[in-house]
């Protein structure tokens, strides 16, 4: 803030007799010199502040660009993590119970038809078909496929082949 350390001009003029033109001119010159001095100092301060503000703005731009890059990276990582979680998440407990119930129905049905198939055989074939060590490792998004495979493999009669000769 500008602060001028002398009397306002009109008060100075009242203290000098109006007939003393040299004194008035001298006072005006001194007043102008002090104003120029103070404005010069303020101008230097303003230039320094302007320089500092430009530097801070460039740093702010740099930080915003860095933040944008980090945000893009985090979003990409989040998407990749989501895909990995999808692929590695096994069957839900409810789907495991439904598959287990379907296997029980297959075992009971096979017993009634006289072609007994045990649990171990069914799960061994299921795990082999879906390339897993345990059926619970099958991804949950393949539940419907598992149920169709069990129906086709154990409930539907095999397609009959035409006579070869």
Q: Which of 86, 116, 144 lies at the terminal end of a domain, its last residue?
A: 86
Task: Establish if 161 belongs to a structural domain.
Answer: no
3: which residues sit within 8 A by CB, 6+ positions away? 38
| Model pLDDT for residues 57-113, shown as the tens digit of each residue | 888 888 888 888 898 998 888 888 887 776 667 888 999 999 999 999 999 988 888
Considering the domain architecture, whether residues 60 and 26 belong to the same structural domain is answered as yes
Q: How far apart are CA 10 and CA 33, in angstroms?
A: 17
Considering the domain architecture, whether residues 101 and 139 belong to the same structural domain is answered as yes
CA angle 76–81–82, rounded 5-degree value: 100
Count of domains forming the chain = 2
Q: What is the pTM of this model?
A: 0.46
Task: Establish if 105 belongs to a structural domain.
Answer: yes
What Rg value do the Cα atoms of the chain yield, rounded? 45
115: which residues sit within 8 A by CB, 6+ positions away? none
Considering the domain architecture, whether residues 77 and 116 belong to the same structural domain is answered as no
pLDDT at 95: 93
Considering the domain architecture, whether residues 13 and 80 belong to the same structural domain is answered as yes
Q: Which of 28, 62, 86 lies at the terminal end of a domain, its last residue?
A: 86
> What's the whole-number average pLDDT of the chain?
80
| Model pLDDT for residues 103-136, shown as the tens digit of each residue | 999 999 888 888 899 999 999 999 999 999 999 8
Considering the domain architecture, whether residues 50 and 69 belong to the same structural domain is answered as yes
Considering the domain architecture, whether residues 78 and 122 belong to the same structural domain is answered as no
Q: How far apart are CA 120 and CA 127, in angstroms?
A: 10
Task: Establish if 41 belongs to a structural domain.
Answer: yes
Task: Establish if 44 belongs to a structural domain.
Answer: yes
Considering the domain architecture, whether residues 59 and 102 belong to the same structural domain is answered as no
Considering the domain architecture, whether residues 105 and 79 belong to the same structural domain is answered as no
Structure tokens that stand for 65 in this block: 């660009």
Average pLDDT over residues 20-48: 74
Closest CA to 111 of 156, 157, 158, 154: 154
pLDDT at 1: 46
Quickly list DSSP for 2-20: ----S--HHHHHHHS-TT-
3-state secondary structure 32-49: HHHHHHHHHHHHHHHHHH
């Amino acid at each position: 803030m500008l602060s001028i350390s002398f009397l306002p001009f009109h008060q100075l003029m009242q203290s000098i007799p109006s007939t003393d033109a040299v004194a008035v001119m001298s006072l005006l010159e001194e007043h102008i010199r002090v104003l120029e001095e103070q404005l010069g100092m303020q101008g230097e301060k303003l230039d320094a502040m302007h320089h500092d503000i430009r530097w801070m703005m460039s740093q702010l731009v740099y930080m915003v660009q860095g933040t944008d890059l980090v945000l893009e990276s985090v979003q990409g990582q989040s998407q990749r993590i989501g895909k990995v979680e999808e692929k590695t998440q096994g069957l839900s407990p409810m789907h495991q119970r439904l598959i287990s119930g379907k296997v029980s129905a297959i075992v009971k049905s096979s017993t009634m038809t006289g072609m007994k198939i045990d649990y171990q055989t069914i799960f061994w074939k299921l795990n082999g078909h879906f390339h897993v060590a345990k059926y619970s490792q099958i991804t949950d998004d393949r539940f419907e496929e598992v149920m169709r495979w069990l129906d086709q493999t154990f409930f539907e009669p095999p397609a009959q082949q035409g006579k070869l000769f």
